[in-house]
Structure 1
């Protein structure tokens, strides 16, 4: 009986050893490796801070897949699109299309647009304070050719209305420049191309003193959280649809219905609604099918981006705040987030 027991124990030991040897040699996987283990992702983020929340959410998603994510490098549009096309960085989630169509030659064929962060609903256009709009009946950029209108918004005495515009290199700067030429407004409107946040802070200060303000903005953005369209400011129309060559086919999409705070409905805003989309290096995606799956499936509702941007404007704008905001958003959407992670893991098998 003792011999039988010894033989049984010996058999169990050999079975355990056999499984261990198989596992060591790769024959049995005792624990599934995460697809990103041992790999690093070189993320970039845009210079506009309203896109940093999205970057942090995607960073934490990539980390959930086992990737090490370098601290995102902040880049203007031209250097990012050139870098991602050449493979110097792997991706960002701050593409605005069709606005960024102008950079396609810089990033194709080495990189590609993949998936959506937020599909539709990203608006752009020109606004003035509601008080001035109603008092003077200003409804269209064409009105800025009137001397009495230009004078209202001329803060430096050069005879032109000052427009808070976009810094050089931003996609919106190119479209604004095109509009000023197309509508023959160069002699009437002076675009301020300094840092956008600082220029808007200055405009907000003037507004609080009761002075007229004239600015370009996009949504989601803290500007329309503090200066609410329809209550504090009004969207103006443009004379007619007229876009740069890389967006010419979208001129029919610049007239939008139901725009809250526009001087008319439908509203000829001069800009088509945009999608916020990731752009990634093709070779990187081929080597990392889990990342491709994540980018293809993951979404962040534009209302959630707007809500986080409002928190940033209220002072919650540190790196720790961004990390916490992203973590809280993931926890609030845990079931959907886990599904995206599971799909990404499956794509890597």
Structure 2
């Protein structure tokens, strides 16, 4: 079994011999342990593609101490989370969270910041920032709702070209749909290096030892956050079949696919070919 927990908020589950499952939660909502770690440790799954770090650091560290799992490294380059705005707000000159509370900007944002459910890790981060008046957010209205509720507000603002500041992350379909830009965060409210994140491929140790060929393949599969965001947009927003999205990408990126397959062999011990 393979689990993919996206930070962006989506959890994608794929069982051997079946199609893709639904989209559920997100990397910031860490009130409970993401199922990928517990199912790896119990032997109910073999591969987890959604190890978001540093957002899941404590849970990840605890799971690694069991010595039952192996971290193969990052599978998405450029993942980030933090203060976000639509592209037209960035084009107007807003590039840093330090600018949010400047008088003219504060008025245009309505002194409101949209975030996800209270109790999530990212919810705690923005409330800590407000409590300490970071970026002058002490008297801002932190508007919390479900992920869908927050994005409905973003969508309404985008259609009207109104200014809005919200919690954003990538990879996610919000990135291409709203031309989203994550602002500089010099006070590291959402983590160091402006919310830079890794999304790790984590596998069950017994599985990796029994399947070195497949493990090599998984170790070499790396996408950019932009590619992942486009995938998510195409199948979750545009309604394309997952197989269609995958096939189109493979046809358009043969060299990248070949890099995934370097040193990997088929069941017959042959070098796989791309047709």
TM-score under structure 1 length normalisation: 0.57
**Compared CA separation, residues 238 and 206, structure 1 to 2 (3 A):** same
Conserved? CA contact 2:118–2:144, under 8 Å = no
Partner of 2:188: 241
Deviations for 1:95-154, whole angstroms, at most 9, x for unmatched residues? 2223321322442223232133223x22322134577789898953575497x8667556
Give 5+ residue unaligned stretches, structure 2.
270-275
Are 2:51 and 1:95 equivalent residues in the alignment?
A: yes
Are 2:3 and 1:44 equivalent residues in the alignment?
A: yes
Alignment of 1:125-204 (within 5 A): 125-128=82-85, 140=97, 143-144=100-101, 153=109, 161-167=111-117, 172-183=122-133, 185=137, 187-194=139-146, 196-204=147-155
Are 2:218 and 1:303 equivalent residues in the alignment?
A: no
Distance 1:73 1:280 in 2: 21
Alignment of 1:265-276 (within 5 A): 269=194, 271=195, 273-276=196-199
| Counterpart selection for 1:207 from 132, 142, 158 | 158
Conserved? CA contact 1:115–1:278, under 8 Å = yes
Deviations for 1:27-47, whole angstroms, at most 9, x for unmatched residues? xxxxxxxxxxxxxxx122326
**Compared CA separation, residues 122 and 84, structure 1 to 2 (3 A):** same
- How far off is 1:281 after superposition? 2.0
Distance 1:135 1:339 in 2: 40
Distance 2:23 2:40 in 1: 13
Conserved? CA contact 2:69–2:202, under 8 Å = yes
Are 2:246 and 1:330 equivalent residues in the alignment?
A: no
Are 2:224 and 1:224 equivalent residues in the alignment?
A: no
- How far off is 1:325 after superposition? 0.9
**Secondary structure in 2 aligned to 1:99?**
coil
Distance 1:131 1:138 in 2: 11
Partner of 1:290: 213
Distance 2:254 2:207 in 1: 27
Give 5+ residue unaligned stretches, structure 1.
1-41, 60-66, 155-160, 255-268
- How far off is 1:326 after superposition? 1.4
Distance 2:187 2:6 in 1: 30
Deviates more, 1:205-214 or 1:170-179: 170-179
Conserved? CA contact 2:81–2:170, under 8 Å = yes
Distance 2:51 2:246 in 1: 19
**Secondary structure in 1 aligned to 2:201?**
strand
Q: CA RMSD in A?
A: 4.1
Partner of 2:272: none
How many residues align? The count is 258
**Compared CA separation, residues 102 and 238, structure 1 to 2 (3 A):** same
**Compared CA separation, residues 201 and 135, structure 1 to 2 (3 A):** same
TM-score under structure 2 length normalisation: 0.70
- How far off is 1:200 after superposition? 1.0
Partner of 1:112: 70
**Compared CA separation, residues 279 and 164, structure 1 to 2 (3 A):** farther
More helix by share: 1
Alignment of 1:71-86 (within 5 A): 76=25, 78-80=33-35, 81-86=37-42
- How far off is 1:52 after superposition? 6.8
Conserved? CA contact 2:7–2:50, under 8 Å = no
Deviations for 1:240-275, whole angstroms, at most 9, x for unmatched residues? 2356xxx6xxx4xx2xxxxxxxxxxxxxx4x2x222
Distance 1:237 1:289 in 2: 41
**Compared CA separation, residues 212 and 88, structure 1 to 2 (3 A):** same
- How far off is 1:162 after superposition? 3.7
Alignment of 1:34-73 (within 5 A): 42-46=1-5, 68=17
